Homo-oligomer: A and B are copies of this chain.
């Protein structure tokens, strides 16, 4: 295959390549080699296969393209630019301008070092941390299958779409990608296509240094269809591969594309030197010469725009117009289904969605918040048709199954169900949640709290992407009991509270569970984390103690003295009842105490100063915080005079009721700490 041709295909492909090279050079930072290698792949996919209307980049039923190897971000930005993708549906401004590309990797440019989903239309998900993109793409494929299964009617093919993810060796070395691939293979997601850039180069050198898997064999073992393309520059082979993918209706497809990094570069092609650094002016000149490229820096010939407009653009406009017409017809024939689907996609909560959240009678024996959580979740999900999710093989323990009529299981080939069996694959589960959320659904995912560590990179991406994934973590402390230190979260509350843009809820009894779920579901621009107990907690008498409605403010006074308190007692979750017990004991002793429930520290910090001072007056320096985790997140509220009752080590294996006294987490210790704090 000749390196330079005068065909319009080559011209367009080389435009993507040269824009990418120029941008990396201008930024003096970035990854030029992969865009140069894979431009033919992206060109063929976008211009010949993708169901995508550049004039309506948020069309719900568009095919999704995920650049899992996010470091190759210029490949995406260049493509969005030449493809004429607009800033918003119906907008006239481009999503990515040449000026944006000139400012690649500069402050305020939408062309960030790695693609950030909210920076520009056409970026379907934030990528960069390896493996996340491919795993997220599984969630997108699931969302497509689910919508098709739930809403398509005989004679209609409106709601499904295909999902393509371009990935690197690095993506596929990460464990999360195998978890995700195993899930996709199990579920037979035939609308999913991963394209593996098999270039044999990593940062330390040749992949042979550390990576010698039989990738096709592995994916076949995971239940995938595998297609091999021997040369990334063979446009016919690429075209045939995508056609074969679209015909494959019983399993996901992996297209293995052999490529040469920095293809065309005279001295840096096929070297890891071209991976993460600019080529240099001289090498760029040589490359452009090899491409037969005669245009200026950042210049795109008009024919390139026309090429995309005539193919992708025309095909997309026609598909979108047909979709609009079909959906109008569908809506007449299926008014309720159309309204339901539109309601889900609007992201707005339907009226009365929270009407059935149960309230729980006062009960000293009480109930585990995972159990009341399951009831509340069901009451909400029954009214929120886009809410769906599951657990990493712990549903009987996390109590997150949807049991109402019609909920059903999401199973291979039967995609209408709302209960997911993610398997023991926490990390992929969370990334799949991200993909579902990015496609307009309201997913929840669930496991034991201690295993939140396994999915942390995906949770961080939920936060960066402002994706409203609901994380339900049960078994939240030494209350786990006999399973011992490996299963007892100690540092996890602090560790998750540390992540910006996450709301962490730890409700103190079953009625707070209801209030916290309500607040969490209303938070549409951030992930929420619901932290629930294994063990029973007393259901507080809310005629005696303040009702939990103010949980939405993060903290509220639940029991109070007359006048200014001598001491503030604050707690969360299973320790709230210890706070109340200590409050009662102190009150009986004549100590003026205030009990404060703090179900969500982040939301409390977001209240105005007046509310914060109302709940925790600055002048009251005697304070005690009680939580069966480490102290770190509480210091801000405790000052130098405050006391903490909680954990400062890993837990132990023993019945839970023995562990709380063993680690000193008792009402008597709270009382003693209060007196100590008052004493100064």
Contacts and interface: CB of A to CB of B under 8 A. Distances in A.
How often does this chain occur in the complex, in copies? 2
Interface in A483-520: 483-487, 490-491, 494-495, 497-501
A483 B114 contact: yes
Contact of A457 (B210, B454, B501, B636): B454
Residue in A127, A487, A621, A640 whose Cβ sees the most chain B Cβ within 10 Å:
A640
B114 A487 contact: yes
Contact of A212 (B223, B397, B460, B499): B223
A186 B212 contact: yes
A653 B217 CA distance: 38
Interface string A377-391: 000000000000001
B486 A203 contact: no
Given A211-B182, A464-B486, A450 B169 contact: no
Find the residue from A427, A451, A636, A648 having the highest chain B CB count within 10 A: A636
Interface in A602-660: 618, 621, 630-633, 635-636, 638-640, 648-650, 652-655, 658-659
A185 B185 CA distance: 23
A668 interface: no
Interface in A451-500: 451, 453-454, 456-457, 460-461, 463-464, 481-487, 490-491, 494-495, 497-500
B175 A630 contact: no
A460 B185 CA distance: 31
Contacts of A463: 650
Given A175-B425, A203-B396, A223-B213, A486 B129 contact: yes
| In the complex, the 4 A-B pairs of residues with the closest C-beta atoms, listed nearest first | A175-B175, A635-B635, A210-B423, A217-B221
Contact of A494 (B185, B460, B494): B494
A394 B170 CA distance: 11
A223 B213 CA distance: 7
A526 to B, nearest CB: 12
Contacts of A113: 481-484, 487, 653
Contacts of A495: 491, 494-495, 498-499
Contact of A484 (B112, B178, B393): B112
A214 interface: yes
A322 interface: no
In which size bucket is the chain A interface?
35 or more
7 contacts: A30-B482, A105-B484, A129-B451, A174-B454, A175-B175, A175-B425, A217-B220
A175 B173 contact: no
A261 B30 CA distance: 53
B204 A394 contact: yes
A652 B169 CA distance: 26
B648 A500 contact: yes
A650 B453 CA distance: 19
A153 interface: no
Given A393-B203, A487-B128, A495-B495, A457 B453 contact: yes
A423 B211 contact: yes
Contacts of A211: 182, 186, 423
A14 interface: no
